[in-house]
Amino acid sequence: MFREILNFRYEEYPFELFSVSHIVAIVVSVGCMMGLYISRNQIQGSLVKWLLVVLLILSEVSFQAWYFINGHWDFTINLPFQLCSLSLYLCTIMLLTNSYRIFEVSFFASMSGAFIAILTPELFFGFPHFRYFQFFLAHLTICLACLYMVWVEKFSLTFGSLIRAFLALNGIAIVAYTVNKLVGANYMFLMHKPNNASPIDYLGEYPWYLISLEAISFFLFLILYAPFFLMREKRRREKVNL
């Protein structure tokens, strides 16, 4: 049984969007985020931070090992240039270094990418396959890492953070596009749409959907920035009224 759930025969464990197993994964993910928020003031020391680091590293190592032992490791798939793979690396460095600049990029890239990936995953292996658990664990941990920095470490964001993150993401996209050309990959979906159903299907044909993705990314960044702006404005008004 264990060997079977590690195979590459996805037709034996098909993933269905918004199936019971997918909805359970969404509910568990949201529940973990809510749990982190509720317990944010009780979290002390670095135990949670190190747990997140271990989970991020474990999810990446197991993903790469799974491809390798099945003889499917490939430069077109396994390099860290998909948005969520990149977020995983950034979040790991962010937690280890407490770097605010990396946090700026990680938060916007991760929360706009990993959380959407939980809702509409590009996933071919369903429950109880290894990839099902690895996929949702990795993306959930990415989200939790960013929320940890906000709710526990008390990091905040400015509009300048949004601009820097957007420019950094475009810079990374240029690198990913170059890698795509060199190895024939489709990192960050810069060469064509995902192979399974995704929101990108509604954004037009190539290359026009890339322009739509730019606009949508900036809009999502604004939404993610909004709570920080509103909280800052609330504190400013409170100070004025004192």
What pLDDT is attached to residue 100? 96
What pLDDT is attached to residue 242? 64
Does residue 240 fall inside a structural domain?
A: no
Does residue 239 fall inside a structural domain?
A: no
Whole-number Å distance between alpha carbons of 173 and 82:
9
Does residue 190 fall inside a structural domain?
A: yes
Q: Give tens-digit pLDDT for 23-49.
A: 999 999 999 999 999 999 888 767 899
The tally of domains found in the chain comes to 1
Does residue 228 fall inside a structural domain?
A: yes
What pLDDT is attached to residue 79? 94
Where the chain has pLDDT below 70, the residues are: 1-2, 45, 195-198, 242
Does residue 77 fall inside a structural domain?
A: yes
Does residue 242 fall inside a structural domain?
A: no
At CB < 8 A and 24+ separation, what contacts does 80-84 make?
Answer: 81/172, 81/175, 81/176, 81/179, 81/180, 81/185, 81/187, 81/188, 82/187, 82/188, 83/109, 83/113, 83/188, 84/110, 84/113, 84/114, 84/117, 84/138, 84/139, 84/142
What pLDDT is attached to residue 196? 65
Q: Give the structural domain span for 222.
A: 4-234
